[in-house]
Chain A
Amino acid sequence: MSRRILFLGLMAFAFGAQAQNVLIRNATVHTAGAQGTLQNADVLVQGGIIRAVGRNLANTGNAPVVDAGGKPLTPGLFGGITDIGLEEISAEDSTVDADLNLKTGESGLIETLRPEFDATRAYNPRSTLLAVARVGGMSFTALNTGGSLLPGQGGVMRLDGGYEPLRRTPFIRIGSSQLNESGSSRAAQFMLLEQAFAEAKLPVAGDPRLLTAAGRNALNAAALGKRFLVTVNREADIRQALKLSSKTGIRIAIVGGAEAWRLSDELAAAKVPVFLDAMDNLPGSFEQIGASEENAVRLHRAGVSVSFINGNDSSHNARKVRQIAGVAVANGLPWEAGLAGITSAPAKALGVDSKIGSIKVGKTADLVLWTGDPLDVASTASVMWLAGKNTPLVSRQTLLRDRYLAPEGPLPRAYKP
């Protein structure tokens, strides 16, 4: 069955001019939206956009038809907050561009508070990590940046090989990894952040004690409409981050949030979404003594929007986010919330839900057909469409596999495709 689907998928791909049109018939459509799950349903895509979702759709425009054979169809998945395209080999510095590490001066401050840093300028969509993530069913990611309290901006990237982010996302980092640049105290981190936001708002360029002029502009622009992704784990620090948010008027999301469950009600009341790794269940540091595999379900029960990230090996193994969502479900999270955590919830938290993250009329047709339950590691992606275009699930890894799968033959393997 799955081979037939693949074949049909490739046929659709071969249609060339019509490549962005497709009618997927007879799928179990997990919309990750208000429609929930639709059995034996069809999805019609025209010009790369979802035009209709429902049973027995008319094939307006005569799009190529793919029979899904009842298999699950989901939106393209969120690969987490990653360095995909910003990092080829983690241990090879010459291939890593995610973090800003300017040399610090005596105070160390001007150099480290650089909200104007835009990591997406280093993004390389030809990186092998994109195809590997696609093979795992991932179609978008939030590019990360780090290295300081106010490390600048990443952005939301569709993994289709394009260069432009759907949206830029500013970051804040709080906690032990930033202690060196904040006088060895978490208290100083909140002090500096507050001062930076206050300085950015000064009507005229004042004494640039903390920020450059460009940094003030960037911070103001970001504070106007964007959600800051705040990496923080300890309950007490999350509480301070919420205070910082209300005091400075910025919107935030919590990233990491190992102890976020202890503040479920406060996070729900403040409508602050949380990006977490549901496998984070060990007291790996003194900032996450309260880490629990029930973090996701407890936040969900309180009404907090939960999205999933891979907190460990986030980029090369972005595909693991699917397993992480499944582990949250295995620990009590409702299945629909697990799927939402790798589709609609992150899309909304990142401000790109008008375009991606659910199967809904008007959205970009980033879709994945699965061999079985998409939250179970026992399943794999069988067909992927990006903006309606069949995107072969081929990566450097599948090519290596195929090269060594067959017997060697008369010539060395270097002569194989």
Chain B
Amino acid sequence: MSKTPLCLAMAFALCATPVQAKKSKAAPEAAKPAPYASTYRPITSPPVLLRNATVLTGTGERLDDADVLMQDGKIQAVGKNLAAPQGALSVDATGKWITPGIIDTHSHLGVYPSPGIDSTGDGNEMTSPVTAEVWAEHSVWPQDAGFAKALAGGVTSLQILPGSANLIGGRSVILKNVAATTVQDMKFPDAPHGIKMACGENPKRVYGNKGGPATRMGNMAGFREAFQNAEGYRRQLDRGETPEPNLRNETLAGVMRGDITVNIHCYRADEMAQMIDLSREFGFKIASFHHAVEAYKVADLLARENICGALWADWWGFKLEAYDGIEENIALVDRVPGGCAIVHSDSSEGIQRLNQEAAKVIASSKRVNIDITPEHAIRWLTSNAAKALRIDDRTGSLQAGKMADVVVWNGMPFSTYAKAEKVYIDGALLYDRGNRALQPRVDFILGQEGQP
């Protein structure tokens, strides 16, 4: 009966097109935009001064009775008694809590949208175990009602990944969570692509009777073969030559050259160690293991390798490789010096309540005398997530000069009763719980008489 989260959908896909990444080299004439480039344009807003709130900066700090000033789409200042510039909207936030916008590093919104029917299931290119050539952004349906619900939960940026059916599922895309008609209008500007890889049960289940891999050793051989095949392509690029066009190798060479961040869906501790060896063989860096329900068993290893764990608070048991899940996984990854824990969703429901997922971790950790403060925990869903996506120079914390992606909560965010009241993206108020006119509704639900 349970709609078990088999997570064929999966975790990170990389989304940087080499064309974009090499923008500076190409320096094309302004008239010719790069193909697949972001056309995102922030919505303009007068300056906004949020006054007198409890502010969690995302850098580990908590400021009481503090103000946040946003101007020209950027955080201008955070501190006490800030002066409102000319023409600023001043908002009394007494009693409210303010955090950076939430970032979900593992979403399938748009590629497995609502409604989840055959014609909308665009997340898994299950035609071959290696489909490094596909890009999630070419599947994203911007009319997924899930985006608006995620916004109501405070999510301002998210990574959309291909599913986990394949060893190498394709490239991810990072989006700003804005309502738009095209995915290009949502693409986070100049964000690197990610790649989505998957260990373990899913690829062998999907391909076991379709030519393989049928085993975990088959999985590893499949990864190695794919990267071996791309080595020549990479060497040519390294020498400044132009290789024969090959979409698959273009992505894999991008991984080995460090242009594309690596997201690996991997549950078991021993398999994470195998993937670290794979990364050594081909000289790439793993940004994060996703789902990783056994990350707590190798928390030291992950910290040493500077790999983040993008994790659930409490999912377990839907597959054997998820059998050893514990409620303190995130806390045990987090407590190691240098540990990088991220709360992710992989779910259109979970993405609406990442604050509550973190709250569960805080509560269960208290049972074993691990005390976690709100100013620390907020990093799991903001700055740590930004770091893993390599967008932390622009978002994920409330620091001057960063994108003004900001959430105003009705109280301390780590509670079932916490609600995002106002959500700003690049300084513009794009969700207001108290104003129906500032709550986006996608085309799909328009005119449906059953709608609330």
Is A397's CB under 8 angstroms from B316's CB?
Answer: yes
Chain B residues contacting A379 (CB-CB under 8 Å) are 363
Give the secondary structure class of B's interface.
Answer: loop
User: Which segment of A48-56, A89-97, A102-110, A178-186 sits at the interface?
Assistant: A89-97
Complex interface bits, B265-303 against A, C-beta within 8 A gives 1, otherwise 0: 000000000000000000000000000000011000000
Complex contact B3–A89 (CB within 8 A): no
Q: Check if B4 sits within 8 Å of A91, measured CB to CB.
A: yes
Given A292-B452, A317-B314, A319-B314, residue A377 in contact with residue B115 (CB < 8 A)? no
Whether B417 contacts A259 by the Cβ 8 Å rule is no
Say if the beta carbon of B323 comes within 8 Å of chain A. yes
Chain A positions within 8 Å of B448 at CB level: 283, 289-290
**Chain B contact residue count (CB 8 A cutoff):** 57
How many residues on chain A are close to B (CB under 8 Å)?
60
Stretch at the interface among B11-19, B25-33, B325-333, B391-399: B325-333
Q: Which of A89, A323, A375, A405 is B320 in contact with, Cβ under 8 Å? A: A89
Contact at B318–A377, with CB atoms within 8 Å? no
Q: Is A336 among interface residues, defined by CB-CB distance under 8 A? A: no
Stretch with Cβ within 8 A of A (4 or more), from B206-214, B364-372, B380-388: B364-372
Given A129-B317, A400-B324, CB of A327 within 8 Å of CB of B416? yes
Is the CB of B2 closer than 8 A to any CB of chain A?
yes
Whether A99 pairs with B1 at a CB distance below 8 angstroms is yes
Chain B positions 431-445 with a Cβ under 8 Å from a chain A Cβ: 444-445
B349: min CB distance to chain A, Å: 5
Is chain A's interface secondary structure helix, strand, loop, or mixed overall? loop
B117 touches A397 (CB 8 A): no
* B130-153 with Cβ < 8 A to chain A: 145-146, 149
A326 touching B323 by the CB < 8 A rule?
no
Known: A89-B320, A314-B2, A327-B416. A377 touches B356 (CB 8 A): yes
A235-B2 in contact (CB<8A): no
> In the complex where A289-B451, A371-B366 touch, is A400 in contact with B444 (Cβ < 8 A)?
no
Q: Which residue of A lies closest to B445 (CB)?
A: A283
**Cα-based distance from A284 to B113 in the complex (angstroms):** 8
* Closest residue of A by beta carbon distance from B348: A282
Measured in the bound complex, the distance between the Cα atoms of B452 and A128 in whole Å is 40
Instruction: Identify which of B145, B352, B450 contacts A259 (C-beta below 8 A).
Output: B450
Q: Are B451 and A290 in contact (CB under 8 A)?
A: yes
Q: Are B316 and A378 in contact (CB under 8 A)?
A: no
Q: Are B1 and A98 in contact (CB under 8 A)?
A: yes
Residue A139 at the chain B interface, CB threshold 8 Å: no
A83 to B327, CA, bound (A): 21
15 additional A-B pairs beyond A82-B2, A316-B317, beta carbons within 8 Å, are A91-B6, A91-B201, A129-B317, A235-B450, A282-B149, A282-B348, A289-B448, A311-B3, A313-B2, A378-B362, A397-B327, A400-B324, A404-B297, A404-B332, A405-B368
Contact residues of A with B, CB < 8 Å?
81-83, 87-92, 98-99, 128-129, 132, 144-146, 235, 259, 261-262, 279, 281-286, 289-290, 292, 294, 311-317, 319-320, 323, 326-327, 329-330, 371, 375-380, 397-398, 400-402, 404-405
14 contacts across the A-B interface (CB closer than 8 A): A82-B2, A83-B2, A87-B2, A91-B320, A262-B450, A279-B353, A283-B115, A283-B444, A283-B445, A284-B348, A286-B117, A312-B347, A313-B4, A404-B296
